[in-house]
Structure 1
Amino acid sequence: MNIAIVASILTVLVGLFYKGHKNWLMTWLQNFCGSLFVFSGWVKAVDPLGTAYKMEQYFAEFESTFSETWMSFVAPMFPWLSEHAILFSVFMIVFEIVLGLMLLMGAKPKFTSWAFLLLVVFFTFLTGFTYLTGYVPEGVNFFEFGKWGPYVETNMKVTDCGCFGDFLKLKPKISFLKDVFLLFPALWFVFRHKDMHQLFSAGVRNLIVGLSIVGLTVYCMSNYLWDIPSNDFRPFKVGENIGIRKAIEATAASNVPVLAYELRNKETGHVVRVPYTQYLKEFQNYPKEEWDAEQIRGDQTITVVKDANGRASILKFYEEIPAEQLSDYLTSHFELTGDTTVIPIATTKISDFDITDMDGNEKTWEVLQTPNYSFMIVAYKLYFEEGQENRMVYDTTYTYDTIAIEGTDSVYVERKVADVQARQVSQSVYDFDDDYVARYTEVVNPVLEAAQKEGVEAFAITAYGDPAMIEDFRHETQSAYPFYLADDIMLKTIVRSNPGIVLLKNGEIIQKWPYKQLPSYEEIKANWMK
Structure 2
Amino acid sequence: MKILVSIARWVVGILFIFSGFVKLNDPIGFSFKLEEYFSPSVLNLEFLAPFALVIALLLVVFEVVVGIMLLIGYLPRFTTWVLLLMILFFTFLTFYSAYFNKVTDCGCFGDAIPLTPWQSFYKDIILLVLILFLFFKREHITPYFAQASHRWIVFLSFMLCFLFAYYVLMHLPWLDFRAYKEGTNIQQAMTIPEGAQEAVYDYNWKFRVNGEEKIYTTNGSYPAVEGEFIEVETEMVKKGYEPPIHDFSIEKDGENFTSEILQEEKLLMIVAYSLNRSEPDGLEKLEKVIKKARSNGYRVIGLSASDEDLKGTMNRKYGLDLEWFFSDETALKTIIRSNPGLVKLQKGTILKKLHWNDAEDLKF
* Alpha-carbon distance between aligned partners in 2 of 1:108 and 1:462, rounded to the nearest angstrom: 49
Task: Report the equivalent of 1:205.
Answer: 150
**Residue 351, structure 1, aligned to residue 279, structure 2:** no
Task: Report the equivalent of 1:376.
Answer: 269
1:356–1:116 distance in 2 versus 1, CA, 3 Å = same
**Conserved? CA contact 2:22–2:110, under 8 Å:** yes
**Residue 123, structure 1, aligned to residue 112, structure 2:** no
* Alpha-carbon distance between aligned partners in 1 of 2:275 and 2:142, rounded to the nearest angstrom: 52
1:320-399 → structure 2 map (5 Å cutoff): 346-348=242-244, 350-357=245-252, 359-370=253-264, 372-383=265-276
* Alpha-carbon distance between aligned partners in 2 of 1:181 and 1:30, rounded to the nearest angstrom: 13
* Alpha-carbon distance between aligned partners in 2 of 1:50 and 1:174, rounded to the nearest angstrom: 20
User: Alpha carbon RMSD of aligned pairs, Å?
Assistant: 2.9
One of 165, 186, 189 as aligned partner of 1:242: 186
One of 155, 176, 190 as aligned partner of 2:121: 176
* Alpha-carbon distance between aligned partners in 2 of 1:271 and 1:163, rounded to the nearest angstrom: 39
1:35–1:269 distance in 2 versus 1, CA, 3 Å = farther
Instruction: After superposition, give the CA deviation of every residue in 1:197-256 in whole Å (9 maximum; x if it has no partner).
Output: 3222221222211110111111112111x210111111101100001211237x777x60
One of 283, 288, 303 as aligned partner of 1:440: 283
Task: Report the equivalent of 1:284.
Answer: 224
1:272–1:206 distance in 2 versus 1, CA, 3 Å = farther
Task: Report the equivalent of 2:59.
Answer: 92
Which sits farther off after the overlay, 289-298 or 226-235? 289-298
Task: Report the equivalent of 1:227.
Answer: 171
**Residue 190, structure 1, aligned to residue 85, structure 2:** no
Match of 1:33, as an amino acid? V
3-state SS, counterpart of residue 275 of structure 2: coil
Of structures 1 and 2, the larger Rg is shown by: 1
**Conserved? CA contact 1:368–1:506, under 8 Å:** yes
Instruction: After superposition, give the CA deviation of every residue in 1:28-85 in whole Å (9 maximum; x if it has no partner).
Output: 111111111111111112111111111111111xx4456xxxxxxxx5xx33422121
Task: Report the equivalent of 2:81.
Answer: 114
TM-score normalised per structure 2: 0.89
State the structure with bigger RCO (CA 8 A, min sep 6), 1 or 2: 2
Structure 2 gap ranges (5+): none
3-state SS, counterpart of residue 84 of structure 1: helix
**Conserved? CA contact 1:166–1:233, under 8 Å:** yes
Number of corresponding residues: 360
Match of 1:245, as an amino acid? A
1:261–1:502 distance in 2 versus 1, CA, 3 Å = same
TM-score normalised per structure 1: 0.62
One of 56, 78, 87 as aligned partner of 2:35: 56
**Conserved? CA contact 2:207–2:215, under 8 Å:** no
Match of 2:282, as an amino acid? R
* Alpha-carbon distance between aligned partners in 2 of 1:460 and 1:214, rounded to the nearest angstrom: 37
**Conserved? CA contact 1:352–1:490, under 8 Å:** yes
Shift of 1:102: 1.5
* Alpha-carbon distance between aligned partners in 1 of 2:336 and 2:94, rounded to the nearest angstrom: 26
